[in-house]
Amino acid sequence: MATKLAELQGLLYVAGDNGILSQDLCQMLEIEPAALRELAKKLTAKLAEDEDSGLQLTFLKDCYKLTTSYRVAKTVERYFQKDISKSLSQSALEILAIIAYKQPITRVEIDDIRGVNSSGALQTLIWRGLVESKGKKDVAGHPNLYVTTDYFLQYFGYTSLADLPVIEDFEADNIDQNGQVDLFESRGSEDQYQEMISKEEQ
């Protein structure tokens, strides 16, 4: 008979990228939340200790899922990036940061902040699964509102938007003389943003 640990791993495997909410796992495994947390710790340790495993347990927005581990990141990257560039451009990263902090936000509002058209880079972010359209703004023309996805959090190693570095509000007058967006008021916040960029480039 399979152990609860094996059952947990099997359920998460068949659930795929959708994952399973904690409360649903408790019901299916017939255990209490505390017991689920213990199982999750054991599975996390088991996968981390097994050098032959290419999986890891991820917990995001009260949802557990199995994802590929960083040990196989380069190989997985080659699979997914056969037809796309290896890393995001600086403009795409700027747009991603703006959306992360100002979401939901329209493309026109992004353009106002950056001072340049953002259509191309925005589509790249959507294509990469980091940004999605979610609803429309109740103004003339009803433009799409854009938000970051759960994959954005997973991609940069965050568990929620609350983990993002705290920075000052973006304003249209933050454009410097070279037309670049000055996103940060403090050096500490810029360092954290550069850390996010470094994660994307790895």
pLDDT of 82 reads: 55
Q: How confident is the model over 143-167, as a mean pLDDT?
A: 85
pLDDT band at 177 (very low <50, low <70, confident <90, very high): very low
Each as own residue / partner, the long-range contacts of residues 115-122 (CB below 8 Å, 24 or more positions apart, any chain) are 115/172, 115/175, 115/179, 115/181, 116/91, 116/179, 118/91, 121/89, 121/91, 121/92, 121/95, 122/95, 122/146
CA distance 192 to 171: 20
What is the spatial distance between Cα 196 and Cα 34, in angstroms, rounded to a whole number?
33
**CA dihedral sign of residues 126, 130, 136, 139:** negative
How confident is the model at residue 92, as a pLDDT? 87
Tell whether 51 and 121 lie within a shared domain: no
b/e sequence 106-141, b meaning 16+ C-beta within 10 Å: bbebbbebbeeebeebbebbeebebbbeeeeeeeee
Q: Residue with structure tokens 């495993």?
A: 53
Residue 175 has pLDDT above 50, yes or no: no
Average pLDDT of the segment spanning 139-158:
86
- Asked if residue 191 is part of any domain, the answer here is yes
Average of pLDDT values for 18-33? 92
> pTM, whole model, 2 decimals?
0.49
Average pLDDT over residues 138-165: 85
Residue 67 tokens read as 């994802």
Whether 12 and 99 share a structural domain: no
Q: What is the pLDDT of residues 40-81, one digit of tens each?
A: 999 999 999 999 999 999 998 889 999 888 888 888 777 665
| pLDDT bracket for residue 195 (50, 70, 90) | low
The pLDDT-based confidence of 169 (bands split at 50, 70, 90) is very low
Residue 164 sits in the same domain as residue 137 = yes
Strand partners, 175: 181
**Is position 161 within any domain?**
yes
Given a cut of 70, whether residue 179 has pLDDT beyond it is no
The DSSP 8-state label assigned to residue 147 in this structure reads E
Provide the domain limits for residue 97: 90-201
More confident residue, 16 or 52: 52
The verdict on 27 and 102 lying in the same domain is no
The answer on pLDDT for 192 being more than 70 is no
Record the tokens describing residue 18, joined without a space: 């959708």
Residue 100 has pLDDT above 70, yes or no: yes
Whether residue 54 is found in the same domain as residue 118: no
Q: Hey, CA dihedral for 33, 39, 42, 48, is it positive or negative?
A: negative
Instruction: Count the domains in the chain.
Output: 2
Decide if 38 is inside a domain: yes
Q: What is the DSSP string of 88-122?
A: --HHHHHHHHHHHHH-SB-HHHHHHHHSS--HHHH
Of the candidates 53, 51, 90, 71, the residue with the CA atom closest to the CA atom of residue 201? 90
